[in-house]
Amino acid sequence: MNTTTNNKLTTAELTALHGATLAAMNAEARTARTLANISRRAQTLFTDGGYRAEAFASDFFHVFGPEGQHYTVLCGAVAGFNCDCKAFSEYGTCKHLEAVDIMKSDAAQADAFDAQDAFDPYALRF
């Protein structure tokens, strides 16, 4: 960086720094938008997105897309978190992984509710 004796940047240096700062901010904004879109799409991937998941083991899933795509998803404390899609390799998360995580969470909540209901003598039975 070329500075004058009073430590001021030249116009060219300021222009270059401004351009680099804007580029970095734009990249961060694009990444934030992409991550928000991933989470939004994961919410309805299995209900409205045409995808389906099959559990191969407790933390190991096959996710099938509407156009024949196939993804392998690991989602759990023991197996870790991974998907073999491009988005996961680029962002560290993806709609497939997040949708499976939501599905597992919903199933666990339903199981907990059923277990509580089974042992509650005052629960309403229909």
70-111 pLDDT, tens digit per residue, is 999 999 887 789 999 999 999 999 999 999 999 998 876 776
Return d(Cα 20, Cα 14) in angstroms, integer: 10
Phi, psi of 36 (to 5 degrees): -65, -40
- Each domain of the chain, given as residue ranges in start order, spans 11-114
Q: What's the whole-model pTM score?
A: 0.68
| For the chain, counts of helices (H) and of strands (E) | 3, 4
Q: What is the pLDDT of residue 121?
A: 56
Sequence-ordered strand ranges (E) for 1-126:
52-57, 60-64, 70-76, 80-83
Chain-centre distance for alpha carbon 11: 42
The 10s digit of each residue's pLDDT in 16-68 is: 777 677 677 778 888 898 999 999 999 999 998 899 999 988 899 999 999 99
